[in-house]
Amino acid sequence: MIDLSHIEKTYDSSAGPVHALKDISLHIDKGEIFGIIGLSGAGKSTLVRCINLLERPTKGKVSVNGKDMTAMSESQLREARKNIGMIFQHFNLLSTATVFDNIAFPLQLSNTPKDKIKARVTELLELVGLADKAEQFPSQLSGGQKQRVGIARALASNPDILLCDEATSALDPQTTKSILELIKDINQKLKLTVVVITHEMQVIKEICDKVAVIDNGIIAEQGDVLDVFINPKQPITKEFISVLLSNDLPVDFRDIDISSEPFEDSILLMRLTFIGETANDPIISNLVKKYNVDADLFFGSLDDIKGSPFGRLIIGMNGSQADIHSAIDYLKEQKVKVEVIGYVSRHASSHH
């Protein structure tokens, strides 16, 4: 659907050339919601603008639907852009036009007959839940409503692709949720390919199928959202995830010695991650029943990533080395991710 190959973007500034994007290659499949996450200045906004060529890459090739966007003439490019809707952080609506006229705008650009415009805009107003706001001006709407108008406008010319540039960053958490729901909804209803640019892992977690982490103009890491959440490889990715899922140990264990070797009265501290169905299975009680080990639970959380249950536990295991090893093997067999933290004194958490 969308293929970026070896994209580079360099700006000239008074302080010399700035390399905003350095050799970025991405492949985005039809119908998926692809998230691109990065800190401000990482180059993510430039990258998304390279897809519809609002920014022309200095080097590299952008192909959408198999057509090379970088080789197009200005007028071919304008036609191609009608197939790529875009929504923005600050909505970018016409302040002097009503909601109806804002949504009608892309249709007016291509000289659609008036009755067809009316039918299409009415349909879109229904889709985004603003049927009663047609004659209002943007200044009379809330942020969430403005973004709904933005979405309706972006969908007006029936695009295959929707680019979302920090579309929820100016909205409060509740409104963010409802806008993300809407995006997910239209992705499924209209089989739209969606590219989401954000600095919030929450957005990725809620709606994305795949994610690419951009840092300093390069893709640090990419893959299925669930895989990246479970096995983040790069420090930057871990940092993004830690905002949502804390990796801190429970308070009692933060200031004590953690040993890599067992000692008298020690327990083995480990972090377990469950994904999908296993998150609902009674694995720990099975573990204790089947193997001659004790397992103390110190921390537990259950979350979900795009509909998949995602559980995390920190347990302290006590037993013979052999039993502990077989218990860990059992956990791995059950597709539980096991991270061994180390041995701590059993009394560290005595007041629990």
Partner 1 sequence: MSADMLPLITKALGETAYMVVVSMIISSLVGIPLGVLLHTTSKGQILECMPLNRIVGTVVNAIRSIPFIILMVAIIPLTRLIVGSAIGTTAAMVPLVLASVPFIGRQVETSLREIPYGIVEAAQSMGASPLQIIYKVLLPEAMPNIVAQLTTVIISLIGESAMAGAIGGGGLGDLAIRYGYQRFRPDIMIATVIVLIIMVQIVQFAGNKLAKQLDKR
Q: In angstroms, rounded to a whole number, what is the distance separating the alpha carbons of residues 42 and 67?
A: 27
95 contacts partner 1 (rule: CB under 8 A): yes
Q: According to CB under 8 A, which one of 58, 65, 92, 202 is a site residue for partner 1?
A: 92
90 contacts partner 1 (rule: CB under 8 A): yes
Which listed range, 87-95, 179-187, 328-336, 343-351, lies at the site for partner 1 (CB under 8 A)?
Answer: 87-95
Shortest Cβ distance from residue 95 to partner 1 (Å)? 5
Chain positions 21 to 60 lying near partner 1, rule: CB under 8 A, are 52, 54
Q: Tell me, what DSSP letter sits at residue 335?
A: T
φ/ψ of 114, rounded to 5, equals: -55, -45
Q: According to CB under 8 A, which one of 5, 108, 142, 285 is a site residue for partner 1?
A: 108
Shortest Cβ distance from residue 93 to partner 1 (Å)? 8
| 248-282 core/surface letters (b: 16 or more CB in 10 A; e: else) | ebeeebeeeeeeeeeeeebbbbbbbbbbeebbeee
146 contacts partner 1 (rule: CB under 8 A): no
How many of the chain's residues bind partner 1 (CB under 8 A)? 31
Q: Residue type at 230?
A: I
Interhelix angle 283-290/321-333, rounded to 10 degrees, is 140
Chain positions 277 to 316 lying near partner 1, rule: CB under 8 A, are none
The partner residues of 160 in beta bridges, in order of sequence, read none
137 contacts partner 1 (rule: CB under 8 A): yes
82 contacts partner 1 (rule: CB under 8 A): yes
Nearest-10 Cα torsion for 283, 287, 290, 296: -140
Q: In angstroms, rounded to a whole number, what is the distance separating the alpha carbons of residues 67 and 228?
A: 30
Shortest Cβ distance from residue 163 to partner 1 (Å)? 8
14 contacts partner 1 (rule: CB under 8 A): no
Q: In angstroms, rounded to a whole number, what is the distance separating the alpha carbons of residues 246 and 40?
A: 22
118 contacts partner 1 (rule: CB under 8 A): no
Q: Which residues sit at the interface with partner 1, rule CB under 8 A? A: 52, 54, 75, 78-82, 84-86, 88, 90, 92-97, 105-106, 108-110, 137-139, 153-154, 157, 163
